[in-house]
Structures are given as structure tokens and as C-alpha cells.
């Protein structure tokens, strides 16, 4: 192995060891994650400064650094489907009245789709305001390769019109959906879990003894899955360090500068969506400042992990323990929010791309008919976009293909994709938690005293050294 690569890896391993020692010394996961972000930026910048972009030493180092980051991402992807399944199953099985599910799901899904539609409108407005257009963007080897890849997936996206989408939500082979075989596999798992939950309710009514044993089994399985999730979450600082180091070391500063307008417009759009969430909370009599103070650790995790689905357990615990949301509502909001109506990934981002690409296809991006089509397609297409890395790309493919716009041009943004994806993920999670909190308030089930309390019990978002409790039951810190 190249001595330079060995030296670089030695520094990387020492940095991993430093984070591990801080954890052993009592540092929280949240603080270690933020430090890992900073250290990753510093390491990546030092590598690029020392060797220059594209140097063989950087490529060799990133091969091994990518192993750490790649394993972390795969572990996150591994737990998503089991986590969504058990969260929905547990939430439905604990409902005393199955009819309550209709009110909860209608409110949560309605809020998610409403905010996604408004987010798409924000995306259209910000892109036109900044005058962003796809013409003139850099078309390097990476961009062309990305565009070719997107074209290979456009057929899959084009098949998801509304009737097909609604039909595809019902699985024909749930075991295949557990493997993620379809683009809507997560929604298939949600539907199966909900139906299984209804069956558990019926068993508890008709055969109480059998029903109680089934409920005990569900609770036990939930404990096991949550333990697995927490094991993965403990690796977050190390995975984030590797991912950030790779992003910074391999990023072309000139490309980022050239696409700076899109980055600025994206983050201003994300800020407007957060203000939208705050306005909706204030509209139902809740203090948005208090809300964001309490969910900040969850948003921090979502920002660094770039996976809204991986944030589900933190979202549920925070909603219940700190915001006073009922467990069933919290589970549905967190799980649905990772698959339906992602405000940033399925609303803002595809709308911005559509407006950028439209002029090159001879379409006026300021016409009301085009804007209405973008908002409508983005909102309906947001159903079933899995909350993991790549969800925004598929959402963009759905919108662009439905509007008959060239999808390959979406690959021109690949150099800044990780940078904006972190902010998008945090906003997605904010949207799901907003939907859960407002639903609890509208249904008269929100514990207002818990929401207003300044001192809240610690959650997994603060520190993973907590007792394992079923999702929806606050964890108790160990002394």
C-alpha cells in the first residue's frame, strides 16, 4: 500500500479513536456527531489541500474511508424496513378502537401532503426568483455518467401514475417488499403491518388470551428491533466522520461555486418550509420556539445521517416524551413521514429541478399551468418515496418524467448533492414531527403540559445510554 495512503489512514483511525474515547468519557452521541462533522470537514479539506483534487493518494485513502461510511449507510438501510414494520404494527395493535386509526392517518397524511404541496410551490418560487436554469451548468464525466444512470431509471418512475401508485401500495408478496424489491416497497410494508395490527385487535376482542400473547410477542419483537436500531445509532459519529471526510476530500470547490446559486436557493427554501411548520404550529395554539428547542437533537441526527427513516425511533421518543404526542400518533407520523409527503425531498427539490430544466424543453416555467402541474405531480408523486439516500432522486424522476422533461439534466447537480441532502433530510423530519404534533392537538390528545414543560426526560437523541423501551414509551436514563 502507498505510504501516503497509510499515513492518511493512520490519521483517520486516530480520529476515530478520539471520538471513541470521548464517548467512553461520557460525551453524548449528539455532541460526538457534531464534532464528527467538523472533524470530517477538516480532514477532507487537509487532504485536498495537501494533495490536490483527484490525487492518487486521496483516491486510495477514500477507498478505505468509504468502507467505514458504506457499512454505516448499509446498516441504516438494513434496519429501516423492520423498524417501519414494527412501529406501525405496534401502533395499530395498541389502538382501543380501530376507527381511531382513520382519524389519525387522515390527519397525518393530509398534513404531510398539504405541506409538500406548499413546499413544491416554494421550490418553484425560489428557482424563478434566483433565475436558476440548467443551461450552462458543467457537464463533466461525473455529470454525464449520473445522467445516463438516471435515464435507466426513468421507465420505473414513469410507471407510477396515480392509479398505479395507489395499486402498488398494496403488496402482492410482502416478503419481496421486505427486501425492497419495488420503489414502493416501504408503503407495502406499512399496509401489511397495519392490516396485521387490525388482526391483532380482532384477536384481543374475540380471543383475549390469544390476543394478549400476540401483543406480548409484538412488544418483545419491538424491543429487539429497537435494540438493534440503537446499536446502529451508536455508530453514527464514526459513519458521519467517514462520510464527511469523503464528501469534502472529493468535492470540486469550483463546481460548488458554480452551483452556489442553487445551494443558496435550496437552503432559503428549506428555511421557508421550517417557517411554514412554525406557522402551522402557531395556528393551532402551540409555541413553535418550544417545539424546535425540543426537536433540535432529532434534526441534528437527521442532518448528519441523511436518513429520515433512520430518525424514526428518535422522532417517536421525542414526540411522546417531550411534545406530549400520543404513542400511536407519534409512530404513524414518524413512519408515514419517512415514506409519504417528504416536504424537501419530494416537494422542494423536484420542483426546483423541473423549473430549472423547463426552459431548455421549450416550457415557460412561470406559466400557471406549468406551476400547477409541478405542484400536483410532486404532491401525488411523494407517496412512497423511501426516507433514505436517493429518495429525492427518485422523486425528481417521477416529477420530470410525468412532465415529459429530460431527466438526464438532473445529474448536473451531483457534485453538491450531499451538501443539500443533509438540509433536506432535517426538514423532512421536521415535517413529520409537525404533522404528528398538530394531529395530536387537533384530536384533543396532546399532553399540553408535557409540550410546555421546560425540563423534559432525556431521549435517545441526547444519549443512547438509555433503557430500552418500546417506541412510544419514554426511555429512562441510567444513573
pLDDT grade, residue 142 (50/70/90)? low
Residue 350 within any structural domain of the chain: yes
Taking the CA atoms of 211, 215, 217 and 221 in sequence, report the sign of the dihedral they define: positive
Q: Is the pLDDT of residue 451 over 70?
A: yes
CA–chain centroid gap for 9, Å, is 30
Is the pLDDT score of 253 beyond 90?
no
Mean of pLDDT values over 437-441: 96
Nearest to 339 by CA among 394, 296, 292: 394
Given a cut of 80, is residue 11 above it in pLDDT? yes
CA 236/CA 446 separation, integer angstroms:
31
Of 145-154, 251-260, 304-313, 458-467, minimum mean pLDDT range: 458-467
**457 domain residue, yes or no:** no
pLDDT in tens, 356-400: 989 988 899 999 999 999 999 899 878 766 554 456 777 888 788
Residue 192 domain boundaries:
3-452
Q: Is the pLDDT of residue 466 over 50?
A: no
Residue 438 has pLDDT above 80, yes or no: yes
Residue 178's pLDDT band, with cuts at 50, 70 and 90, is confident
Let me know if residue 391 belongs to a domain.
Answer: yes
- Give the confidence band of 432 by pLDDT, cuts at 50, 70, 90: very high
Residue 477: strand pairing partners: 466
**Minimum mean pLDDT among 6-10, 118-122, 226-230: which range?**
226-230
Residue 268 falls within a domain, yes or no?
yes
Q: Does a structural domain hold residue 403?
A: yes
Is 470 within the bounds of a domain?
no
The answer as to whether 476 is a domain residue is: no
Q: How many domains does the chain have?
A: 1
pLDDT over 80 at 445, yes or no? yes
Q: CA 432 to CA 429: how far, in whole Å?
A: 5
Neighbour tally for 210: CB within 10 Å: 12
Q: When comparing pLDDT for 463 and 18, which is higher?
A: 18
- Cell numbers found for residue 6: 497509510
Mean pLDDT of 255-262: 75
pLDDT band at 474 (very low <50, low <70, confident <90, very high): very low
Q: Which residue has the higher pLDDT, 464 or 87?
A: 87
The pTM of the whole model exceeds 0.75:
yes
Query: What does the mean pLDDT of the chain come to?
Result: 83
Which contacts qualify for 53-59: CB closer than 8 Å, 24 or more apart?
Answer: 53/250, 53/252, 56/2, 57/2, 57/4, 57/5, 57/8, 58/249, 58/250
CA neighbours closer than 13 Å in the CB half-sphere of residue 291:
25
pLDDT at 286: 96
Q: Is position 434 within any domain?
A: yes
| Phi (first) and psi of residue 180, to 5 degrees | 75, 35
Overall size of the chain counted in residues: 479
Q: What is the CATH number of the domain that holds 439?
A: 1.10.3860.10
Residue 128 confidence class, pLDDT cut points 50, 70, 90: very high
Query: Residue 241: pLDDT band by 50, 70, 90 thresholds?
Result: very high
Across the range 422-444, mean pLDDT stands at 94
What CA–CA distances, in Å, run from 94 to 80, 196, 198, 471?
Answer: 21, 12, 10, 12
pLDDT tier, 229 (very low <50, low <70, confident <90, very high otherwise): confident
Could you give the CA distance from residue 374 to residue 83 in angstroms, rounded to a whole number?
32
Amino acid at each position: 500500500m502507498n505510504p501516503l495512503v497509510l499515513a492518511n489512514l493512520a490519521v483517520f483511525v486516530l480520529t476515530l479513536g478520539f471520538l471513541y474515547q470521548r464517548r467512553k468519557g461520557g460525551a453524548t452521541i449528539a455532541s460526538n456527531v457534531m464534532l464528527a462533522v467538523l472533524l470530517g470537514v477538516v480532514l477532507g479539506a487537509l487532504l485536498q489541500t495537501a494533495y490536490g483534487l483527484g490525487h492518487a493518494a486521496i483516491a486510495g485513502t477514500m477507498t478505505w474511508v468509504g468502507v467505514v461510511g458504506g457499512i454505516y449507510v448499509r446498516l441504516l438501510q438494513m434496519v429501516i424496513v423492520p423498524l417501519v414494520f414494527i412501529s406501525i404494527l405496534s401502533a395499530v395493535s395498541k389502538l382501543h378502537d380501530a376507527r381511531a386509526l382513520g382519524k389519525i392517518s387522515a390527519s397525518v397524511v393530509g398534513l404531510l401532503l398539504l405541506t409538500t404541496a406548499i413546499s413544491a410551490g416554494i421550490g418553484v418560487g425560489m428557482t424563478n426568483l434566483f433565475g436558476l436554469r440548467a443551461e450552462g451548468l458543467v457537464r463533466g464525466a461525473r455529470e454525464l455518467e449520473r445522467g445516463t444512470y438516471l435515464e435507466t431509471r426513468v421507465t420505473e418512475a414513469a410507471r407510477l401514475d396515480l392509479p398505479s401508485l395507489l395499486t402498488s401500495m398494496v403488496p402482492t408478496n410482502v416478503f419481496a417488499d421486505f427486501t425492497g424489491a419495488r420503489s414502493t416497497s416501504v408503503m407495502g410494508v406499512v399496509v401489511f403491518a397495519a392490516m396485521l395490527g387490525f388482526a391483532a385487535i380482532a384477536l384481543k376482542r374475540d380471543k383475549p388470551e390469544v390476543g394478549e400473547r400476540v401483543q406480548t410477542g409484538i412488544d418483545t419483537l419491538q424491543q429487539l428491533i429497537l435494540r438493534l436500531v440503537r446499536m446502529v445509532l451508536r455508530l453514527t459519529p464514526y459513519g458521519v466522520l467517514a462520510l464527511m471526510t469523503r464528501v469534502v476530500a472529493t468535492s470540486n470547490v469550483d463546481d460548488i461555486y458554480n452551483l452556489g446559486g442553487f445551494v443558496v436557493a435550496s437552503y432559503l427554501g428549506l428555511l421557508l418550509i421550517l417557517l411554514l411548520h412554525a406557522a402551522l404550529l402557531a395556528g393551532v395554539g402551540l409555541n413553535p420556539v418550544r417545539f424546535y428547542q425540543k426537536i433540535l437533537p432529532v434534526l441534528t441526527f437527521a442532518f448528519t445521517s441523511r436518513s429520515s427513516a433512520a430518525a424514526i425511533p428518535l422522532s417517536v421518543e421525542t414526540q411522546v416524551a417531550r411534545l406530549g404526542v400520543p404513542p400511536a400518533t407519534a409512530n404513524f407520523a414518524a413512519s408515514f413521514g419517512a415514506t409519504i409527503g417528504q416536504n424537501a425531498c419530494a416537494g422542494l427539490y423536484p420542483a426546483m429541478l423541473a423549473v430549472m430544466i423547463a426552459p431548455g424543453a421549450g416550457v415557460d416555467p412561470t406559466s400557471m399551468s406549468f406551476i400547477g402541474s409541478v405542484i400536483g405531480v410532486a404532491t401525488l408523486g411523494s407517496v412512497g418515496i423511501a426516507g433514505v439516500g436517493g429518495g429525492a432522486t427518485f422523486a425528481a424522476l417521477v416529477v420530470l418524467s410525468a412532465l415529459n422533461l429530460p431527466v438526464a439534466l438532473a445529474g448536473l447537480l451531483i457534485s453538491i448533492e450531499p451538501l443539500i441532502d443533509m438540509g433536506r433530510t432535517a426538514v423532512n423530519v421536521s415535517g413529520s414531527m409537525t404533522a404528528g404534533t398538530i394531529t395530536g392537538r387537533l384530536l384533543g390528545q396532546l399532553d399540553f403540559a408535557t409540550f410546555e414543560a421546560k425540563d423534559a426526560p432525556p431521549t435517545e437523541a441526547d444519549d443512547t445510554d438509555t433503557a430500552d423501551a418500546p417506541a412510544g414509551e419514554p426511555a429512562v436514563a441510567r444513573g
